[in-house]
Every structure is written in structure tokens, then in C-alpha cells.
Structure 1
Amino acid sequence: MQTHLAPEFQNTLEGEEAEAILRKCVHCGFCLATCPTYQLLGDELDSPRGRIYQIKQVLEGHAPTRETQLHLDRCLTCLNCETTCPSGVEYGHLVDIGRQVVERKVERAPAQARQRALLRTALPSPLFGPAMRMGQAVRGLLPESLKAKVPERREPGRWPRTSHARKVLLLEGCVQPSMAPNINTATARVLDAAGIQCLRPRGQGCCGAVKFHLADDAGGRAQMRANIDAWWPHIERGAIEAIVVNASGCGVLVKDYGHLLRGDKHYAAKAARVSELTRDVSELLPDIVAALADRVRPHAGVLAWHAPCTLQHGQRLRGGVEEHLAQLGFTLRPAAQEAHLCCGSAGTYSVLQPELSLQLRERKLGHLLGESAAERPAAILSANIGCITHLQAGTEVPVRHWIEVLDETLSK
């Protein structure tokens, strides 16, 4: 695809990156078949190829409109298109650039601007935890739309105190400790049983995804730098072998720190090292299986498996959870159809685009739950707090992180 960047984008980091990505696109349209919003809306402007054209026009000097902004907002950033693309177009990086540029040029409607500002501010805030606890205390009184965003309170269980020679840093996240605290403690317990100690460094916080994907570029990068500062003393002295992330949505961004901070002379090298060290917890499953095979009493029922987009498309980790849990005796059943399509959670998407999000959730749950009671799984397993919360709001079947279920089946 030929491009002619407007002067304001020439010789800039974002302009050069966008131009390189655009030149890879050959207009083939393979991406349309796997784009969730195109599947629902049938409008090419709501497909990767259509959005690429719109971003190209903006970078070439055409004035974007609120309609342009809407089409970019509707993108789930599921990256299914990157998995499908035969030309290696880095669509995720391009849409990030496009959104940042359009946000600077198009004023949002006041109500929409306030909603996005509230999400950017509230979700990564230290006040989110107390607010969530208050919501859980009065959950039964909340309207259904809000109740769906407030999961029932769960106890975190114990944090292991054993020290091991093998150590990893564990990113606890911003919303997960309040919404599903047992995921972090279960991770620590499973890794402890496998001879790996989880450290929780002071100063770490939100991975930066919430702010960054809501067009607060500076705020998101500031959170990335804060995490690097918290992790770096452990990395510098060689005290840890990995940074472990158990929310795939956070993991895909932390693995991208090296790219996102490549232009920062103070953090570029450190960010690249952080990206090299980052692992989704499922990447430790070979070690877990080897260490715990004789201690696991697997779940007796069939468990449906939902692979988050950030795991299968963003991190390109496919089949690992299913393969290794099967080695431990679990029976995991993938979605009957469309296992590659997004569930509609996509970070803040379920709040900002509720109609499309709910359509995608119902479609996903239909494939996970089966057509009859006999096909219904004992639970749905996933690997990302956003997907887990979103899916749970649509079904009575328990939706859990796979590591919670593994933790429960370990003989103590």
C-alpha cells in the first residue's frame, strides 16, 4: 500500500512506524473473515482493512470525523486479524497510532469524554479496591447492569511463605486483586508447589493498558516506567528468572514494553529486557507438570476452555493450557465453533460498546455451553480477568481462571 504522509507526520516515530505497517498491507481482505465487528455489522469500515484505509487517510492529511473515531472505537483490538494476515501487518500497533492521532484531532461528545476519563482514572486507582468492596457489600441491591460488573466477593486464601532458589516477579494487576484475589494467591501456591517463589515488588501497579488504550498515551507510558522501576532492582542483580503475568490482557502489553518505550533513551534498554523476561503463567506449565504430576487429583467433569484473544492472538500462545492440563488428567473442551473469535470483553469495551459486547458474549457462551443440558460443562476456564468477569455475567456456570482450578486439585 503506497502512502504519502502529511508533513506533520513525516520524520516522526509514529509516522515512520505507521508508514512501514501500511506498506505491508496488500488489500487481500483475509482479515474480514475473522473480524468480530465485521461479522456483526457487515460494514467494511468496521473491519481491519477498512480501519487501515481510514488511518491511512488521516495520516495523509484528511481531517478525521466523529464517524472515523467511532469505527476505530468499535475495534476490539482482539488481533485476530494479525493471526490471519499473510503479510504480517502489525495492525495492533497501527490502530494504537490511529486512535492517538484521531483523539488529538476530534473532540468527543461531553458525556463520552467524561465516561472515558472516569474509566482511565478509576480502574487503575488505589481507590478502586475500596469502591469494589463497597459495591460487593450492597451487590444484591444494585441494578442488573451494574451488578454484572461487580462480582461476588471471593476470599484470596493463603499466600505461601516458603523460600525457593527459583524466583519470579508476579504482576498483581490493578483490578484483579479486588475482583478475583484468589487468582494471584492460587498462582503463588501452584508455583510454590512446583518449587518457584513469587515475589510482589513494591511500587508495581497497573500495566498501563487501561490508560494507553483509552488514548492517554502519556499516562499509560508513565505506568509502564513505574513498573520497570519497581522490577529493575530484582532484574539488575539477577534475582529472578521471569516476570510472570496471569492476566493475558496485561501480559500482551508488558511483552510490548520494549516496543512502546523504544524511543525513551532512559528506559528503552530496560523495557526491552522486561519484555524478554515476561511470561504468561501458562508458559511455566511444562515445569508445573513435571513437578506436580503425582500430586494432582484432576477435576472429574468436563471443563470448557475459552482462550482469550490476548493469549491466542496477542501472545500467540495456543494449545498450551489444553495440552498440559490434559497431561495432568483434566478434560478441556474448546468452544464448539468460533474459538478464535472474541468474547466481547476487550478491556473497557464492554462498558463503552455494550450492545456489540453483549452480542459477542452470547455468541461465545452459546458455543461454550453447548445446545443441551447434557453438554453443559462443569465450569468454563479462561486466562484473563476481563474475560472471566464478562462471561460470568452471562451464565450461572462458574467461570474460573484455569490456575484456580489446578490449585484446588493439588493434594495438600
Structure 2
Amino acid sequence: MQTQLADFVKDTPEGREADAILRKCVHCGFCTATCPTYRLLGDELDGPRGRIYLLKQMLEGQKVTTRTQLHLDRCLSCRACETTCPSGVRYGRLADIGRDLLERKVQRPWLQRLQRLALRKLLPYPRRFATILTLARLIRPMLPAALRAKIPPKVSAPQWPAARHTRRVLMLKGCVQPAMAPAIDAAAANVLDRLGISAVRVDGSGCCGALSYHLAAHEEGKAFMRRNIDALWPHIEQGAEAIVSTASGCGLMLKEYADVLKYDSVYAEKAERVSALTRDIGEILAGEDLSSLRSSPVGRIAFHSPCTLQHGQKLNGLVERLLSDLGFELTPVDQPHLCCGSAGTYSLLQPELSQKLLADKIRALEQGRPECIATANIGCWAHLRSSATVPVHHWIELLYLLLEGRHAKSAP
């Protein structure tokens, strides 16, 4: 794709990066076949190729409007298009660059600005989010059924094992997951402990920065990233072998710190090191001897592979193989490459499209009559459980149940 970038962007690092991405696109349209929003809406501008043209027009200095913004807002950033693209177009990176520029050029209606600001000032802060969630749980019985389904009940978490092994991995404290589903990280820590690896929660760490960054608040997102790098760095210098994430969305963001901060003279080198050390919990377990966890058939489960795991981190099939090897029976899932509609804040900002995608995903997951649904990201977990008729768990919780000699159906 030939481009002629406008003066306002052509000599910037982001402009040169966007130009290189645009030039890789050959207009083939293979991406439209796997784009969830194009499949729903049938509009070229609601598919990757159409959105690339909109971004190209903006970068070349043509007029952009709320219509441009609407089509980009409808994008899930699921990156299914990247998996399909034969030319290796980094659409997700291009969309991030474009959204940041577009946000400066087109002012949103005040209600949209307020909604996005509220999300940015609430969700990335664990104490604020925990307070709101506690209040929501108190009034949950009085809410309509649709709202009740979105509020997970409070659950207890397994005790975090003491750091007693020579091998150490690091885990961020995160943002919404500690309040919504504290058992996930604790389950991972216990499984790792059984394998001779101590999981260390890093003081001073928090939100990975993805929420702010993907809402076009780039400097805000980078501030979260720098804070995490500062918190992680002493442990990295002391020889921690990996940074482990149980949320595939956070893991993807951590792996992209190097990209986001590559123009930062102070943090670029450290960001590259953090990205190189980051592993999804599945990547860690895939390299270990799991024979102590292996069991006879322990249940029928449907696995939903989050977009950030299969399209972002390119780990499609990894967790499924682990679960099968450990004795779980995986039920068939139609079109597993499609997004469930969670997509970070998408389910809150685009509820109508999100609910349509969720309904399709639940049908696909439950068609094989599983006893439960497993996934690998906190957003997908919350979104799926709001509509599923069977329990929904993070897959690492199922492995913890094997440690405890329990069946998946016995989980809370």
C-alpha cells in the first residue's frame, strides 16, 4: 500500500512505524473472513481492510470525523486479522497508533469522554475497584437479572505458598483480578510450588497499563508500565527466571512493553528485558514435568482460547494440549478463533455488539455439553460466566483441583 504521510506525522517515530505497517498491506482481504465485527455487520469499514484505509486517510492528512471514530471504536483489537494475514501486517500496533492520533483530532461527546475517564480512573486501581465491587455485591440481590449476572460472588483463595525454592518467577499484583477472582493467581502459585518454583508477588506493581493504553491514553498507560518496570527490576537483577501472567491480556501487554517504550531513552532497554522475560503460565508449565498432576479422565471441559492468547501471543493450542495430556476431555468448539466480545473494556463501551458475540460464543462452547468452561484471561472469564449455563474457571484452577484431589465440578 503506497502512502504519503502528512507533515504532522511523517517525521515522528510513530509515523514512520505506521508507514512501514501500511506498506505491508496488499489489499487481499483475507482478514475480513475472520473479523468478528465484519461478520456481524457486513460493512467493509467494520473490517480490518476498511479500518486500515480509514487510518491511512487520517495519516495522509485527510479529514476525519466521528464516523471514522465509530468504525475504529467497533474494532475489538482481537487480532484475528493478524493470524490470517499472509503479509504479516501488524494491525493491532497500527490501530493503537491511529487511535491515539484520532483522539486528538476528533473530540468525543461529553458522555463518552466521561465514561472512558471513569473506566481509566476506576479499573486499573485495585483498591478503588475492590470498593465498588464490594458495594455491587451488597446490592446484587436487588438488581435486575442481567446486571446480577455480571457481578461475580465473593470466593476464597487458596493460601499463597511460602517462597522456599531456588527457582523464582515474578507475578504482578494486577488490577481487577485480585478482587474479582483472587483464587486464580493463588492456584497458579500452588501449582508452581508443587513443581519446585516459587511465585513472588511483586510489591509496588499493579495494572499492566493495557486499559489506559488501548483507550488512547498513551502517556497514562506508559506511566503504569514504567512503575511496573521499576518494581520488577530489583527482582530481575537478583535472578528471577521469568515474569508470569495468568491473564493473557496482561501477558500480551507485558510482552509488548519493548514496542511501546522503544523510544524512551530511560526505559527502552529495561522494557525489552521485561518483555523477553514474560511468559504466560501455560508456557511455564509446558516446559515442566507434570506427571505428578496427571490423572485418569477428570471431566469434560470446553476451552475458550482468549484472543490475546491465540492471536496476540501466538500460543494457540498450547493450553489445550496441556489439559488433554493431564486427562481432561476437551469438547469440540465451533470457530474457536472468534472473540467472545469481552475485549478489555469493549463489553462496557460496545454492549450491543459484545452481547451478540457472547451469545454466539456460549452456543459454540456449550454445544458439546461440557461440565465446565475454562479460559485463560480475567476479562473472558467474567464475560463468559455472565451468560454460561455451566461453571466457568481459569484453567489453572482446574490444575489446582488436581493437586487437591478434587473434580472440576467441585470448584466454587
CA–CA distance in structure 2, aligned partners of residues 245 and 54 of structure 1: 34
Q: Could you tell me how far 1:162 is from its partner in structure 2?
A: 4.6
Q: Could you tell me how far 1:327 is from its partner in structure 2?
A: 1.5
Matches within 5 A, 1:203-214: 203-214=204-215
CA–CA distance in structure 1, aligned partners of residues 206 and 277 of structure 2: 18
Shift in CA distance, 107/162, structure 1 to aligned 2, threshold 3 Å: closer
RMSD over aligned Cα, in angstroms?
Answer: 1.2
- Give the corresponding residue for 2:340: 343
User: Letter of the aligned partner of 1:171 in structure 2?
Assistant: L
Q: Secondary structure at the match of 2:403?
A: coil
Shift in CA distance, 346/43, structure 1 to aligned 2, threshold 3 Å: same
CA–CA distance in structure 2, aligned partners of residues 279 and 334 of structure 1: 27
User: What TM-score comes out, normalization by structure 1 length?
Assistant: 0.96
1:380 and 2:373 correspond: yes
| Aligned pair partner of 2:384 in 378, 391, 410 | 391
- Give the corresponding residue for 1:355: 352
Kindly indicate whether the alpha-carbon contact (under 8 Å) linking 1:312 and 1:318 is maintained by their aligned counterparts in 2.
yes
Q: Could you tell me how far 1:405 is from its partner in structure 2?
A: 0.8
CA–CA distance in structure 1, aligned partners of residues 158 and 212 of structure 2: 30
- Give the corresponding residue for 1:77: 77
| Aligned pair partner of 2:304 in 303, 306, 309 | 306
Matches within 5 A, 1:13-412: 13-125=13-125, 126-238=127-239, 240-288=240-288, 290=289, 292-297=290-295, 300-335=298-333, 337-370=334-367, 375-411=368-404
Shift in CA distance, 164/86, structure 1 to aligned 2, threshold 3 Å: same
Shift in CA distance, 205/299, structure 1 to aligned 2, threshold 3 Å: farther
Q: Could you tell me how far 1:172 is from its partner in structure 2?
A: 3.0
Q: Secondary structure at the match of 2:24?
A: coil
CA–CA distance in structure 2, aligned partners of residues 295 and 18 of structure 1: 46
1:3 and 2:11 correspond: no
User: Letter of the aligned partner of 1:58 in structure 2?
Assistant: M
Q: Secondary structure at the match of 1:409?
A: helix
User: Letter of the aligned partner of 2:387 in structure 1?
Assistant: G
Shift in CA distance, 299/184, structure 1 to aligned 2, threshold 3 Å: farther
CA–CA distance in structure 1, aligned partners of residues 73 and 325 of structure 2: 41
User: Letter of the aligned partner of 1:396 in structure 2?
Assistant: T
User: Letter of the aligned partner of 1:235 in structure 2?
Assistant: I
Q: Could you tell me how far 1:135 is from its partner in structure 2?
A: 1.4
CA–CA distance in structure 2, aligned partners of residues 197 and 112 of structure 1: 43
Q: Secondary structure at the match of 1:138?
A: helix
Q: Could you tell me how far 1:146 is from its partner in structure 2?
A: 3.1
Cα deviation per residue 1:28-53 (whole Å; 9 max; x = unaligned)?
00000000000000000000000000
Structure 1: runs of 5 or more not aligned: none
Structure 2: runs of 5 or more not aligned: 406-412
CA–CA distance in structure 2, aligned partners of residues 248 and 257 of structure 1: 14
Kindly indicate whether the alpha-carbon contact (under 8 Å) linking 1:9 and 1:15 is maintained by their aligned counterparts in 2.
yes
Q: Could you tell me how far 1:295 is from its partner in structure 2?
A: 4.0
CA–CA distance in structure 2, aligned partners of residues 303 and 70 of structure 1: 37
Cα deviation per residue 1:241-261 (whole Å; 9 max; x = unaligned)?
000000001111110000100
Cα deviation per residue 1:179-224 (whole Å; 9 max; x = unaligned)?
0000010010000011100011111000001101111111000000
Q: Secondary structure at the match of 1:395?
A: coil
Kindly indicate whether the alpha-carbon contact (under 8 Å) linking 2:331 and 2:369 is maintained by their aligned counterparts in 1.
no
Kindly indicate whether the alpha-carbon contact (under 8 Å) linking 2:173 and 2:202 is maintained by their aligned counterparts in 1.
no
Q: Secondary structure at the match of 1:169?
A: strand
Q: Secondary structure at the match of 2:302?
A: strand
- Give the corresponding residue for 2:408: none
Q: Secondary structure at the match of 1:23?
A: helix
Q: Secondary structure at the match of 1:229?
A: helix
Kindly indicate whether the alpha-carbon contact (under 8 Å) linking 1:306 and 1:334 is maintained by their aligned counterparts in 2.
no
Kindly indicate whether the alpha-carbon contact (under 8 Å) linking 1:296 and 1:411 is maintained by their aligned counterparts in 2.
no
Q: Could you tell me how far 1:298 is from its partner in structure 2?
A: 5.5
CA–CA distance in structure 2, aligned partners of residues 259 and 19 of structure 1: 16
Shift in CA distance, 162/13, structure 1 to aligned 2, threshold 3 Å: closer
Q: Could you tell me how far 1:334 is from its partner in structure 2?
A: 4.2
376-385 or 121-130, which deviates more: 121-130
User: Letter of the aligned partner of 1:330 in structure 2?
Assistant: F
CA–CA distance in structure 2, aligned partners of residues 402 and 298 of structure 1: 17
203-212 or 148-157, which deviates more: 148-157
CA–CA distance in structure 2, aligned partners of residues 286 and 73 of structure 1: 36
- Give the corresponding residue for 2:410: none
Shift in CA distance, 213/299, structure 1 to aligned 2, threshold 3 Å: farther
Kindly indicate whether the alpha-carbon contact (under 8 Å) linking 1:257 and 1:275 is maintained by their aligned counterparts in 2.
yes
Shift in CA distance, 225/299, structure 1 to aligned 2, threshold 3 Å: farther
User: Letter of the aligned partner of 2:27 in structure 1?
Assistant: H
Cα deviation per residue 1:384-410 (whole Å; 9 max; x = unaligned)?
010011011012210100000110111
User: What TM-score comes out, normalization by structure 2 length?
Assistant: 0.96
CA–CA distance in structure 2, aligned partners of residues 334 and 175 of structure 1: 30
Cα deviation per residue 1:72-113 (whole Å; 9 max; x = unaligned)?
000000000000000010000000011111100101011111
User: Letter of the aligned partner of 2:178 in structure 1?
Assistant: P
